[in-house]
Structure 1
Amino acid sequence: MTLALAACTTAGGTGATDASPTALPAHVTVELRQLRSDVASRWAQVMITNDGETDLVVGPLHVDDPRFDGPAERINDRESTVRAGSKVAIPVQLPAVACPAPDEGTGTVTLGWSTDGASGTATAPLADPLSFVPPLHERECRAQALAEAADVTISSFTPSPSGQPADLTLTIAPTGDGAAAIDGIHSTNLLTWVGYPNVEHPLDVQVKKDDVAPIEVHLPMVPLRCDPHVVQEDKRGTVFNVDIELDGEPGQIQLAATEEMRGRILTWVGQWCGFPS
């Protein structure tokens, strides 16, 4: 559900106000979304829709939500103009999640705004129409809990000639302070495993309390399909779902390749598949 916010005007009804209004014009609505391309960098988008007849200028902006350990700040320190009858997405950087906290909740957006004859700073409830925040919060709190037992990372990538599997290496570094099971890693829309095509590759790593020796797992990886459009439009091809178990409770975390490693993987897929350079 998208929330419309009440307007503040002067007693004369001119659309201007002597004091800073604390609500947006009635024709403006706001919501929070996360695009596929935002996942690895942990961005989100504040979508501002202006259904009025006057352009809206948006300045400083941040999102507050009890499920995050601080405000989500605007990525770019500048103003954005939302033309009449249009919408604009303003990216924000999501902070670390706050744990423990309920997965369900409601965020607010605070932004500076101005139109022809009115301006102010508004704070308003922020709809999450795709409900991406609850599963993100649950998943990342689970990752925080896992980190108490072990640090799990994609530590290296070694490319291969066409027709042969590349090597993707996971490193599980126990902390000595807890126990966990790392059960399996899933294919993505871009990458899969030799012997386990387009399905979960079992890992079966058991971390026990007092374990400290790092464990390396080498995964034979090949492109899931050789489609140049998939590579060109890749958003989540190097973000892997990993099945884990903590205190007898199964769940998933996500492991994302670094931007540098993602670039090398995409280059390898293109060369492996013989795409024109």
Structure 2
Amino acid sequence: MDRPTAGTASPSALPAGVSVELRQLRSDVAARWAQVMITNDGETDVTVGPLHVDDPRFDGSAGRINDRESTVRAGSTVAIPVQLPPVACPAPDEATGTVTLEWATTDASGTATAPLTDPLSFVPPLHERECRALALAATAAVSISAFTPSPAGQPADLTLTVAPTGEGAARIEGIHSTNLLTWSDHPNVEHPLGIDIASGGAEPFDVHLPMIPLRCDPHAVQEDKRGTVFNVDIAVDGEPGQIQLAASEEMRGRILTWVGQWCGFPH
């Protein structure tokens, strides 16, 4: 059977042979990006213009980051990054998103809306984790607020700031090592915190964590994607779970520079 060409597609449907899915790369996590993967198994090149992703688990549409067109050659796949909006809570962790995109070939064009598969199932845990973080934020704002580097052989100081709101109760159980960083007094494991936050309010306070590199191979720093994103075990209203705390881009740069100096990488 002959495969239909893209030109025979309905203007409201994807061109023949084109499929879409949503993925998140390790390098996308801190910036909360995702990639709309467009695969063209048809026989005609397809140009993709504006697009957006809609999903009931997010509060608004995820729009294309780069305002330009992309050509998806026949037999190829193109990744188009989108900025994820804040999560919508409450909402079911399991749902199906859609992508709406403008497309054109040499002899046809249209605007299509299609279901967007999530083959790695990254959205459900992201939604659950970020809704849990919002629940914690209603009780206390928790952030990585400072980083003080150290000489080689000595621990640096990573500072968490906890600012209770006075509403609700929560507990911060501990913070985990990353693939790049660990704790001098609890290497390779979770650093216990045991912080109880009660309703009624309290002054903000800092928690100082003695941090050292977990590894000193240069490629681990050069290829770092997740080394400054920390998993934190919490419980809100008695419900346990995990959130993520990420260093800012500016702080991430300073931490990676410190790791290189601490490990004695050549300049």
Give the TM-score normalised by the residue count of structure 2. Answer: 0.97
The answer (yes or no) to whether the contact 1:179–1:208 under 8 Å persists in 2 is yes
Q: Which amino acid in structure 1 is aligned with residue 28 of structure 2?
A: D
Distance in 1 (CA, whole Å) between partners of 2:152 and 2:15 is 58
Percent of aligned positions with the same letter in both sequences? 80
Matching residue of 1:196: 186
* Cα-Cα RMSD: 1.4
Q: Which amino acid in structure 1 is aligned with residue 61 of structure 2?
A: P
Matching residue of 1:134: 124
- 2:75 pairs with 1:75: no
Q: Name which of 74, 78, 83 aligns with 1:84.
A: 74
- 2:12 pairs with 1:22: yes
Quote how far apart the aligned CAs of 1:215 are.
1.8
Matching residue of 1:152: 142
- 2:196 pairs with 1:206: yes
Distance in 1 (CA, whole Å) between partners of 2:5 and 2:95 is 27
Matching residue of 1:48: 38
Q: Name which of 240, 253, 258 aligns with 1:263.
A: 253
SS of the residue aligned with 2:202? Answer: coil
Distance in 2 (CA, whole Å) between partners of 1:53 and 1:212 is 65
Query: For structure 1, which runs of at least 5 residues remain unmatched after alignment?
Result: 1-6, 10-14
Q: Which amino acid in structure 1 is aligned with residue 104 of structure 2?
A: S
Distance in 1 (CA, whole Å) between partners of 2:41 and 2:154 is 54
Q: Name which of 214, 217, 241 aligns with 2:207.
A: 217
Distance in 2 (CA, whole Å) between partners of 1:228 and 1:83 is 37
Distance in 2 (CA, whole Å) between partners of 1:248 and 1:257 is 27
Q: Name which of 194, 217, 220 aligns with 1:230.
A: 220
Q: Which amino acid in structure 2 is aligned with residue 126 of structure 1?
A: L
Query: Cα deviations across residues 192-236 of structure 1 (Å, max 9, x unaligned)?
Result: 001211110001111110122112100000000001111011000
Query: Cα deviations across residues 36-94 of structure 1 (Å, max 9, x unaligned)?
Result: 00000000000000112211100001000000000000000000011111100000000
Distance in 1 (CA, whole Å) between partners of 2:16 and 2:119 is 19
Distance in 2 (CA, whole Å) between partners of 1:110 and 1:23 is 10
Matching residue of 1:112: 102
Query: For structure 2, which runs of at least 5 residues remain unmatched after alignment?
Result: none
The answer (yes or no) to whether the contact 1:8–1:24 under 8 Å persists in 2 is no
Quote how far apart the aligned CAs of 1:164 are.
0.5
- 2:244 pairs with 1:254: yes
The answer (yes or no) to whether the contact 2:5–2:44 under 8 Å persists in 1 is no
Query: Cα deviations across residues 212-264 of structure 1 (Å, max 9, x unaligned)?
Result: 21121000000000011110110000000000011111100000000000000
Query: Cα deviations across residues 80-116 of structure 1 (Å, max 9, x unaligned)?
Result: 0111111000000000000000000000000000112
Equivalenced residue count is 265
Which portions of structure 1, spanning 4 or more consecutive aligned residues, are displaced by more than 6 angstroms?
A: none
- 2:176 pairs with 1:186: yes
Give the TM-score normalised by the residue count of structure 1. Answer: 0.93
SS of the residue aligned with 2:31? Answer: coil
Q: Which amino acid in structure 2 is aligned with residue 26 of structure 1?
A: A
Matching residue of 1:173: 163
The answer (yes or no) to whether the contact 2:5–2:43 under 8 Å persists in 1 is no
SS of the residue aligned with 1:181? Answer: strand
Change (3 A) 1:204 1:245: same
Distance in 1 (CA, whole Å) between partners of 2:236 and 2:50 is 41
Quote how far apart the aligned CAs of 1:173 are.
0.3
The answer (yes or no) to whether the contact 2:44–2:105 under 8 Å persists in 1 is yes
Distance in 2 (CA, whole Å) between partners of 1:234 and 1:92 is 21
Q: Which amino acid in structure 1 is aligned with residue 78 of structure 2?
A: V
Matching residue of 1:58: 48
Matching residue of 1:143: 133
